[in-house]
Amino acid sequence: MQQNPTLQDSKTPPLQPSNGLAIEARGLSRRFGHVVAVDALDLTVERGRIHGFLGPNGSGKTTTLRMLCGLLRPSAGTAKVLGMDVAHAAEAIRRQIGYMTQRFSLYEDLTVIENLEFVAVVQGLPAKKRRVRLDELLGRYGLKDHRRQIVGTLSGGEKQRLALSAAVLHEPKLLFLDEPTAAVDPQNRRDFWETLFDISDGGTTILVSTHYMDEAERCHSLSILDVGKLAASGPPRRLAETLGQRVVEVETATPREAQTALHRAVGVLSVAQIGTHLHILVDEDASDPVGVVTTALRDAGLKGQVTSAQPGLEDVFVAVTIARRKREAARSAA
Amino acid sequence: MNSLRRLFAIMQKEFRQLKRDRVSFAMIVMIPLIQLTIFGYAINTDVRHLRAAVSDESRTDLSRELIAMVAQTQVVDFVGTASGPRELEQWIKEGRVSVGIVIPFDYARRVERGEDQPAQLLVDGSDPIVGQAVMQLAQLRLPGVKATATSRNAAVEERATAMTSPVSRPIIPFEVRLDYNPERISAVSIVPGLLGVILTMTMVLFTAVAIVRERERGTLEMLITTPVRTAELMIGKIVPCIGVGLVQISIILCLGVALFHVPIRGSLVDLYIAGLAFIVANLTMGLLNSTFAQNQFQAMQLTFFFFLPSILLSGFMFPFDGMPVPAQWIGELLPLTHFNRMSRGILLRGATLSEIGRDLWPLAAFFCVVMTAVLLRFRKRLD
């Protein structure tokens, strides 16, 4: 799939970033009244990467994206997008980014082609290129048969593909996607990610927010957000590796009893039942995670096979949120 | 060049959306249609068709002719005949009638003797407008009595002429309106005012909703992430609405002429120029409204916040010169005040724009000030 990331370059001299970073944020914060939505966030995204924002609802993902798009002013901190300061160069940034909002934000009462034509003109796509580009997008995103269809009557997956084509229509260097797969089924999600990799191959940097672990795992790098704070960041695999041996699995005939017993055990952070297995995260201070779990089961008079397991992103997420709760508890105690 | 293209794209989009939005489309036509019909017939400052009853104890040709003459004025409609003055008083007390005419048994004799006030007029004074209207009516003589008397003898005619008749036609509103509205139909003077009132309501709401709806549906977030400029967005929203406003003016004028025989004494071009300035002023007000309103309900409330003083202080409801001076100051700030003067001048008095053009400049000033406020207030941001 061919992408031409130098469309803007033909009109304006390329704005050279200070380094190979597409996004660089320091201490980025945003308050709404007394609520701190984003709290001193540091973020670096290298060019050409797919960077994920992982976090539950209300963790500040959308607020951060909006600040990076220049839609919200940071209460504190600075951010450079494509080498330009969001506080001063919002308009220049807008010409080079694409933004797919969380909520569908094209006109439901216009047809597919009317929407795309509108966005094309507003984005300043030259008239000569417009027709070719729109045909190309309609073909690539499977919307050719829906050209003249009123957008309000499209399915969730079709709307999402339309929203994506509108966001990449002007061949942005940086693409912001805010929970793009929230309204689509798993098959469409897989296809959608294939498309993202195609776009990424063309040289576009992508910042995508999600609360799906499987999507987060596909990103080149990841920032885990928790109540507005950066909880962890790095490539998904390395994040998981930081947990070392702390994940333990138990196979037992009495999973409910074992779960109750383990919940009470010292050193056990979380227990989740997956089928007949128990998936357990052990405290980082424990030197022998398998030993901790074995002892706890024996003390409760239960039998089970305890093995060390490969940590996943979900474990990272759980570890991060629990660590935060512990810090908060310690602070309120002091 | 790009700027013009973007402006055109926004206008095209607005037209397309309007074309498909049947509710809005119906509103464009139905609001002026319904409002004009209802207000045109209902707002009536002439007192006519007051309910009246008569107690005729004379039962002569003269008394019956007096009743017929009073009925002909249309100031009152006879809804009943009472058995005597007592019953008439009771009916007025109960509010069943506003006016009672008492014709005593010796009425014919008194008229022929040339006595003053041979009959009596009972008036419900609790409604000052009714009281005023009927009291004016009472001060005038009835030509019909004279005519009746003529056929009898000259002496009676003389006395009848000298008589202060209890009933006659109201004369003061007639005199005032003689030049422009001889039939004393309120609608003729109401329609030019209604033109402005209806436009104020629809135009302010239209642009306010045009922006707020984009905010509500989330499309504004997409729009402000593009290189589109605020001025392009605002002008692109205004222009299609101007077309809507001009269509509404045409509907109101056609209806006014067809239903109420409103004269168009001045030039239509002048009227449309005045209308255009007025429409644009109101549309920018709607845009300003949209920079405050977060949803369509708030936009509606804010529109009413602007609409009410416009109706009350523009001279539409009450004569402008009769208002307290501070109220006049506020009135001068409102576009409707200036448009009312122009539309009445052009339609009813046949004035030209050069004669009443001094009311165009306040509209232009209103547009400049409000548009500046809009451009300063509207930010391509969500905070």
Cα–Cα distance for residue pair A127/A173, rounded to 1 Å: 21
What pLDDT shows up at residue B73?
72
Q: What is the pLDDT of residues B2-51, one digit of tens each?
A: 899 999 999 999 999 998 988 888 888 888 888 888 877 776 656 667 78
Question: Which of B219, B225, B382 is the mutation pick for testing A, counting most A CBs within 10 A?
Answer: B225
**Phi and psi at residue A304, to the nearest 5°:** 180, 155
**Cβ(A306)–Cβ(A293) below 8 Å:** yes
The token duo for A249 is: 């699995």
Beta-carbon count within 10 A of B154 CB:
9
Q: In 3-state terms, what secondary structure has residue A308?
A: strand
Query: What residues does B121 pair with on adjacent strands?
Result: B101
Q: How far is B314 from chain A (nearest CA, A)?
A: 38
**Cβ(B212)–Cβ(B295) below 8 Å:** yes
Nearest chain A residue to B380 by CA distance is A71
**Cβ(A166)–Cβ(A143) below 8 Å:** no
Q: Is the pLDDT of residue B145 over 70?
A: no
From chain A, pick out residues whose CB is under 8 angstroms from the CB of B17.
107, 109-110
- Asked if B227 reaches chain A (Cβ–Cβ under 8 Å), the answer is yes
Say yes or no for a CB contact (<8 Å) between A73 and B227: no
**Which is nearest to A79 in space by CA: A161, A138, A133, A17?**
A17
Nearest chain A residue to B220 by CA distance is A105
What pLDDT shows up at residue B226?
92
Cα–Cα distances in angstroms (integers) from residue B249 to residues B111, B289, B370, in the given order: 55, 23, 23
What dotted CATH number matches A8-234?
Answer: 3.40.50.300
Sequence-distant (≥ 6) Cβ neighbours of residue A135 within 8 angstroms: none
Q: What is the pLDDT of residues B210-264, one digit of tens each?
A: 999 999 999 999 999 999 999 999 999 999 999 999 999 999 999 989 888 888 8
Provide the chain B residues 12-51 that lie in CB contact (below 8 A) with chain A: 12-13, 16-17, 20-21
Cα–Cα distances in angstroms (integers) from residue A330 to residues A296, A326, A333, in the given order: 25, 6, 5
Say yes or no for a CB contact (<8 Å) between B9 and A122: yes
* Burial class of residue A45 (count of CB atoms within 10 Å of its CB; 0-12, 13-18, 19+): buried
**Which is nearest to A137 in space by CA: A1, A253, A252, A289?**
A1
Average pLDDT of span B87-111: 80
Q: What is the pLDDT of residues A122-177, one digit of tens each?
A: 999 998 899 999 999 999 999 999 999 999 999 989 999 999 999 999 999 999 99
What pLDDT shows up at residue A16?
44
What pLDDT shows up at residue A14?
41
Cα–Cα distance for residue pair B331/B341, rounded to 1 Å: 12
When CB atoms are compared, the residue of B21, B226, B382 closest to A123 is: B226
Cα–Cα distance for residue pair A130/B327, rounded to 1 Å: 56
End-to-end CA distance of chain A: 58
Average pLDDT of span B83-98: 81
When CB atoms are compared, the residue of A72, A107, A123 closest to B227 is: A123
| Cα atoms found within 13 Å of the Cα of residue A283, Cβ hemisphere only | 11
- Residue count (chain B): 383
When CB atoms are compared, the residue of B2, B21, B227 closest to A94 is: B227
Beta-carbon count within 10 A of A216 CB:
24
**Phi and psi at residue A177, to the nearest 5°:** -125, 120
**Cβ(A188)–Cβ(A157) below 8 Å:** yes
When CB atoms are compared, the residue of B5, B223, B225 closest to A69 is: B225
Cα–Cα distance for residue pair B358/B277, rounded to 1 Å: 13
Percent of chain A predicted with pLDDT > 90: 58
Query: What residues does A54 pair with on adjacent strands?
Result: A210, A224
Q: Is the pLDDT of residue B203 over 70?
A: yes
The secondary structure of B270-300 as a DSSP string is HHHHHHHHHHHHHHHHHHHHHHH-SSHHHHH
The secondary structure of A77-146 as a DSSP string is EEEEETTEETTT-HHHHHTTEEEE-SS--S-TTSBHHHHHHHHHHHTT--HHHHHHHHHHHHHHTT-GGG
Nearest chain A residue to B18 by CA distance is A109
Cα–Cα distance for residue pair B281/B364, rounded to 1 Å: 7
Q: How far is B296 from chain A (nearest CA, A)?
A: 17
- Asked if B150 reaches chain A (Cβ–Cβ under 8 Å), the answer is no
Q: Where are the domains of chain A?
A: 8-234, 240-333
Nearest chain B residue to A33 by CA distance is B383
**Cβ(B97)–Cβ(B77) below 8 Å:** no
Cα–Cα distances in angstroms (integers) from residue A250 to residues A166, A245, A310, B346, in the given order: 48, 14, 13, 91
From chain B, pick out residues whose CB is under 8 angstroms from the CB of A90.
380-381
Sequence-distant (≥ 6) Cβ neighbours of residue B69 within 8 angstroms: B142, B143, B144, B145, B167
- Asked if B382 reaches chain A (Cβ–Cβ under 8 Å), the answer is yes
SS3 track for B153-172: CHHHHHHHHHCCCCCCCCCH
Strands A84-85 and A229-234 come out as: unpaired
**Structural domains of chain B ordered from first start:** 2-43+185-377 (no CATH), 50-177 (3.40.1710.10)
Say yes or no for a CB contact (<8 Å) between B218 and A124: no
Sequence-distant (≥ 6) Cβ neighbours of residue A157 within 8 angstroms: A184, A185, A188
What pLDDT shows up at residue A151?
96
pLDDT band at B114 (very low <50, low <70, confident <90, very high): low
The token duo for B349 is: 């008095």
Say yes or no for a CB contact (<8 Å) between A110 and B228: no
Say yes or no for a CB contact (<8 Å) between A109 and B2: no
Among positive and negative, which fits the CA dihedral A61, A66, A69, A75?
negative
Q: What is the pLDDT of residues B281-295, one digit of tens each?
A: 999 999 999 999 999
Cα–Cα distances in angstroms (integers) from residue A97 to residues A90, A128, A237, B11, in the given order: 10, 22, 28, 24
Mean of the per-residue pLDDT values for chain A? Answer: 88
Say yes or no for a CB contact (<8 Å) between A97 and B225: yes
**Which is nearest to A97 in space by CA: A16, A184, A168?**
A168
| Cα atoms found within 13 Å of the Cα of residue B80, Cβ hemisphere only | 14
Say yes or no for a CB contact (<8 Å) between A73 and B6: no
In the block, which residue shows the tokens 């629809």?
A: B202
**Which is nearest to A285 in space by CA: A330, A319, A321?**
A319
Sequence-distant (≥ 6) Cβ neighbours of residue A160 within 8 angstroms: A104, A180, A181, A183, A184, A188, A192
**Cβ(A206)–Cβ(A200) below 8 Å:** yes
Question: Which of A8, A35, A121 is the mutation pick for testing B, counting most B CBs within 10 A?
Answer: A121
Beta-carbon count within 10 A of B199 CB:
28
**Which is nearest to A46 in space by CA: A79, A82, A91, A95?**
A82
Q: Report which of residues B311 and B71 the model is more confident about.
A: B311
**Which is nearest to A44 in space by CA: A323, A235, A240?**
A235
Sequence-distant (≥ 6) Cβ neighbours of residue A48 within 8 angstroms: A22, A200, A203, A204, A205
Q: Is the pLDDT of residue A244 over 60?
A: yes
pLDDT band at A333 (very low <50, low <70, confident <90, very high): confident
Cα–Cα distance for residue pair B235/B283, rounded to 1 Å: 10
B354-B360-B364 Cα angle (round to 5): 145
Beta-carbon count within 10 A of B271 CB:
21
- Asked if B228 reaches chain A (Cβ–Cβ under 8 Å), the answer is yes
Cα–Cα distance for residue pair A120/A102, rounded to 1 Å: 21
| Cα atoms found within 13 Å of the Cα of residue B66, Cβ hemisphere only | 29
Q: Is the pLDDT of residue B350 over 90?
A: no
Question: Which of B209, B222, B228, B382 is the mutation pick for testing A, counting most A CBs within 10 A?
Answer: B222
pLDDT band at A10 (very low <50, low <70, confident <90, very high): very low
What pLDDT shows up at residue A192?
92
What pLDDT shows up at residue B268?
94
Say yes or no for a CB contact (<8 Å) between B222 and A94: no
Beta-carbon count within 10 A of B319 CB:
7
Q: Report which of residues A44 and B183 the model is more confident about.
A: A44
E strands, chain B, in order:
50-56, 76-81, 99-103, 120-123
Q: How far is A312 from chain B (nearest CA, A)?
A: 35
Q: Is the pLDDT of residue B149 over 80?
A: no
Q: Report which of residues B125 and A156 the model is more confident about.
A: A156
CATH 3.30.70.100 fits A240-333, yes or no: yes
Q: Is the pLDDT of residue A334 over 50?
A: yes
**Cβ(B293)–Cβ(B377) below 8 Å:** no
Say yes or no for a CB contact (<8 Å) between A105 and B218: yes
